[in-house]
Amino acid sequence: MAKKKDEQKVYIDAPVVDQPITETLEQNFMPYAMSVIISRAIPEIDGFKPSHRKLLYTMYKMGLLNGNLTKSANIVGQTMRLNPHGDAAIYETMVRLSKDYEALLTPFVESKGNFGKVYSRDMAYAASRYTEAKLAPICAELFRDIDKECVDFMDNYDSTTKEPTLLPTTFPNVLVSANLGIAVGMASQVCGFNLAEVCKTTVAYIKNPKVDLYKTLPAPDFPTGGELLYEQDALDEVYNTGRGSIKVRARWRYDKDENLIEVYEIPYSTTIEAIMDKVVELCKGNKLREITDIRDETGRDGLKIAINLKRGTDPEEVMKKLFRLTPLQDSYPCNFNILVGGTPKQMGVREILDEWCAWRYECVRRRVHYDLGLKKDRLHLLKGLEKILLDIDKAIKIIRETEEEDEVIPNLMIGFRIDEKQAEYIAEIRLRNINKQYILRRISETSDLEDEVKRLEEILGDRSAIMDIIVEELKAVEKKYGTPRKTGIITDFTLDAPASEEKAVEDYPVSIFLTGEGYFKKITPQSLRMASEQRLKEGDELVRTVETSNAAEVIFLTNQQQAYKCRMADFDDTKASALGDYLPAKLGMDPGENVVFMFLPGAYTGNLMLFFENGKAAKIAASAYDTKSNRRRLTGAYSGASPLVSAFFLEGDDEFAMHTSDGRVVMFSSASLMPKTTRSTIGVQVLTMKKARTATKVELAATSGILNPSRYRTRTLPSAGAPLRPEDIGQVQAELDI
């Protein structure tokens, strides 16, 4: 026991060593950051991240390039020998590379089963035990001559096997495959280009580095199709710097018989659900009154969003509005950040082609050097065999007369003046092949080998010859695997209005009415003159009536500290005989949320006075509710620290009477409070709080009915107020009864 106590004491008394933050960053954070950048998130010049490369190489070693489909779970399990990050991450990588997922213009995995869709967030892929996969035929171009030492190999994470550092792709896959990666302190987002166009462009660039890239590579191409809005300045920025954004919009058609719009291709950067959610939101806000219904009809025939229109609606005008207000037109950001020699580098298209050509040149050079070495070795062996032809009997005699087996090779070397490799090759010839016919056949290869060795040596000494090989391979890939581009290019899109452009709102006088249960009416003066008696729900009552115009803005505050900004034009004109719009449903409020106050901000020059149960008052400038963007819902509209008792909107200052739960009144001017620009301010203490005292009611002093206001006025805040006298109570009661 004593020993344990001593050990415990040593542990407790151990000194704490302070470490400077710079040292912590250097020893712990920087290695992690570099690992994420180099070994995980940023693609390399072959167009792949390590996770892609490990998966594809595993499938290649499994014989899935020419073999049959196998269960995805089998592939995932085998890949874990190279990628220890877990089966879920590996399978997700395979899904993205698959043909059925449609995330790549040129998919590398042939798939069978449910692999989901890139354009749908709800269409999830099935588990790996249910799906099957193999390598697509184009993967032959990824692994061509990989066994000829054209790329470097390294140990896997536990040094039990080897894996390639890069794949010797015969085409610039770095531009063909779309890629997104987020590292530490940097990111990469490469848009895809059409395979055939990339191959043509690379060939043209090899022949002339100053070639006009737009002639063969007009714009990016996306697997989900759509239409690219051709903006020369934006494309120049992307092509030259590797940064920028590209606008893409959906493709659609109009069914006249059904009076509906069918969207069948959408931007690559969005999903069906995101589009539908936005359209529904706009319809609820009366910003898309022309639409009656929207449905997702995606099926085996492909993507389809059906949008039903009201009778007499112009589909062209509806689509202009949808392009302006929804993700049916979206921007794809570009950031061509690529690892070159282990260093992240942001490059334009021309610089990427230059780096790829330099890397591919080295791959082909190493492959030719490997082939040359094999040819030379074969020629060397045949040269030794040629010497045996001069005297086969002598070779047989040397072997027969050699008593020890270990002396056969040295004796042949001495007898025919050949080296050890040649002697070893001759000694391994079977007895039945020691005849002139066999030997002459082997020697007949010599002249062909000599010509081949000479040709390969000439290629190694001539850079242009290697580049010609690269060009021929590019032309072969284009011819065999090239497909037409999916994304159309639009140069005339002047009809598309900017996001801030809105139709002019018709302006005319209206009267608005708000009831206690949240019903809202907007009625024209003509309609009021015809019938002014308001129809209300049983038990409901009018709490606010205002005369304004149809172009004015209105803000509703709710019991959940949210504000809803609307225009009068968002509401339909109605009649006094109607109940009106139920605001919680009309504005899409949360469950249990109700309107507690309504005000018209006008030019946002006034102040909002809010009074709380804890005796505090907040004076908030109306400008705090003015937003540059056309947002409908503002969270944190006012403080929720205490329940709201009363609210007023003032253009100037006024005097208020605050009533307390113990029968006191405090009268003060709003000028004594400074306006705040923070909506969630808790306010200033007006009422001195004692025991269970709370504020119960706040009125404008002029309409409070108090006969002797000086008795209750205060110059300093907070104040306990004065007890309400009977005559003031009577006056208030009398006015309330009127």
Q: Mean pLDDT of successive 10-residue segments in the chain (738 residues)?
A: 47 66 78 74 92 95 93 95 89 95 95 94 92 96 94 92 95 94 85 96 96 95 94 93 94 92 94 93 84 91 92 90 93 93 92 96 95 92 80 83 85 86 84 74 82 93 94 96 94 56 70 92 88 85 90 91 88 88 87 91 90 92 79 84 92 90 89 89 88 88 84 86 79 40
In terms of Cα–Cα distance, which of 107, 106, 124 is closest to 115? 124
Q: Where are the alpha helices (DSSP H) in 224-348?
A: 232-241, 272-284, 315-325
The pLDDT assigned to 735 comes to: 40
Distance CA 376, CA 406 (A): 27
683, 699 in Cβ contact below 8 A?
no
Residue 712: the pLDDT is: 87
Element housing 411 (H / E): helix 408-416
Task: State yes or no: cis peptide before 164, omega within 30 of 0.
Answer: no
**Residue 620, pLDDT score:** 93
Is residue 261 within 8 Å of 252, Cβ to Cβ? yes
- What pLDDT is attached to residue 35? 73
412 φ/ψ angles, rounded to the nearest 5 degrees: -65, -40
Q: So what's the pLDDT on residue 455?
A: 93
Contact 45, 359 (CB under 8 A): yes
Determine the length of the chain.
738
Q: What backbone torsions phi and psi does residue 34 show, to the nearest 5 degrees?
A: -65, -35
Task: Measure the CA–CA gap between 97 and 102, rounded to whole angstroms.
Answer: 8
Gap between the Cα atoms of 50 and 303, Å rounded: 32
Predicted confidence at residue 631, as pLDDT, reads: 60
Token pair of 471, please? 């060009």
Give me 170's structure tokens: 């015969």
The Cα 598–Cα 648 span in angstroms is 9
Predicted pLDDT at 229 = 94
Query: Domains of the chain, with CATH numbers?
Result: 42-166 (3.90.199.10), 251-327 (3.30.1360.40), 373-481 (1.10.268.10), 509-737 (2.120.10.90)
In the beta sheet, which residues pair with residue 262? 253, 306
Q: How many helices (H) and strands (E) does the chain have?
A: 21, 33
CA count, 13 A, side-chain hemisphere, 20:
3
Which pLDDT score, from 0 to 100, does residue 1 have? 45
Nearest by Cα to 135 from 82, 70, 223, 230: 70
Partners of 567 in beta bridges: 553
* pTM: predicted TM-score of the whole model, two decimal places: 0.68
Q: Which residues are catalytic?
A: 130
Which ranges in 483-544 belong to alpha helices (H)? Answer: 525-530
DSSP state of 734: H
- Report the distance separating Cα 1 and Cα 439, nearest Å: 88
97, 108 Cβ separation under 8 angstroms: yes
Query: In angstroms, what CA-CA distances link 92 with 86, 87, 95, 178, 335?
Result: 10, 9, 5, 16, 23
Rounded to whole angstroms, how far apart are CA atoms 695 and 666? Answer: 10
